[in-house]
Amino acid sequence: MTPETLEQVGVIAGAVLTLAIFSYALGDNFLYRLAIHIFIGAAAGFVLLATLESVLIPWLSATVLITPFELPRLVIGLLPFLFGLLLVYKGTARLSRLGDFGVMIVLGVGTALALLGAVNGTLLPLIGDAARAFRPENALNGLIGLIGTLSVLVFFTYVGLRRLSGEVTQFLPVRFVGLIGQGFIAITLGATYGLLILSALTVLSGVLSDRLFILIGR
């Protein structure tokens, strides 16, 4: 089988699977479920192969299988597998306590990495951009950003005054500022939803045009 034939088979299979996914608009059916199962199976196989080739084999080659033999390097290489074994114990009733230790390690390391990435990659750059936004040429944009941020924070403030009847009400200025924040939230969600729809339509039109271009042969 030539590469051109394989490419045509792939294009036809992609077009058929795309139409099978779109058939869900007519209701849940066999073609849609078959396409979903194929996608899940292919994704699982791809993730497994990528994990073996890009993570496990290089890790074992750099720690466990490397020569000359070194005990500290061997211990470091086997630690992830030990934690994985502890996570397996989480599914058993007798040894679930051992699984708690594995979950604790995974959550602790994951939380630390996520926090470090959020601070260094998101929070600090946003603070720097916000500070630069208050330059004279960007004063209006900076003011709008400041008002939007503060009003949204006030919108999620639940501190109020409890009346004799037991009802909790917020002060009028707080409610007014919170209403402005609600407007900013609505505008943001609407713009985000619109961008998602436009992006999806752009991708869809590109995929359909490529499929038709290849099938027609022009």
Question: Residue 183 has what pLDDT?
Answer: 92
Which residues of the chain are under the pLDDT cut of 70? 1, 133-134, 137, 159-162, 164, 166, 168, 214-215, 217-218
pLDDT at 47: 94
pLDDT computed for residue 203 by the predictor: 80
For residue 80, whether the previous peptide bond is cis, meaning omega lies within 30 degrees of 0, is no
Alpha-carbon distance 193 to 92, whole Å?
43
**Got the DSSP string for 39-71?**
HHHHHHHHHHHHHIIIIIHHHHHHHTS-SS--H
Q: Tell me what pLDDT residue 166 has.
A: 67
- What pLDDT score was predicted for residue 186? 93
Q: Which of 155, 171, 154 is nearest to 163 (CA)?
A: 171
Token pair for 141: 């944009």
- Tokens 């795309």 appear where? 18
Quote the pLDDT of residue 168.
65
Q: What is the pLDDT of residue 134?
A: 67
Please, which residues have CB within 8 angstroms of residue 106's CB and are 6 or more apart in sequence? Answer: 83, 87
Give the pLDDT of residue 9: 78
Q: Kind and range of the H or E element at 169? A: strand 168-169
Q: Which residues contact 18 (CB under 8 A, 6 or more apart)?
A: 207, 208, 211
